[in-house]
Amino acid sequence: MNSEEQKVYTFIMDRTKPEHQEAMKQLVAELLERKKEHRLDKIYLLRVVPKALSYLQPEAVNEVKELVLNLTSTR
């Protein structure tokens, strides 16, 4: 994991509910892998975002949404 990916990972994990840490780890790993392979697209995000948002602390949802949207626009 490069430093940018580590920042994304830490950012999201710091905002994840404790009981959903393991599931979020898997989602973030998949998200970063797809970004690396240029397969991070809006169709994929529409499929996983509702699940990922349910893992987040309510007050962090908008921050993480913004981050993910920025990731898709810089691919």
Residue-level pLDDT at 72: 65
Q: What is the mean pLDDT of each run of 10 residues along the chain (75 residues)?
A: 86 96 93 87 87 95 84 62
Of 46, 68, 59, 47, residue with least CA distance to 16: 59
pTM for the complete prediction?
Answer: 0.78
Give the C-alpha separation, 14 to 27, whole Å.
Answer: 14
Per the CB < 8 A criterion, the answer to whether 12 and 24 are in contact is: yes
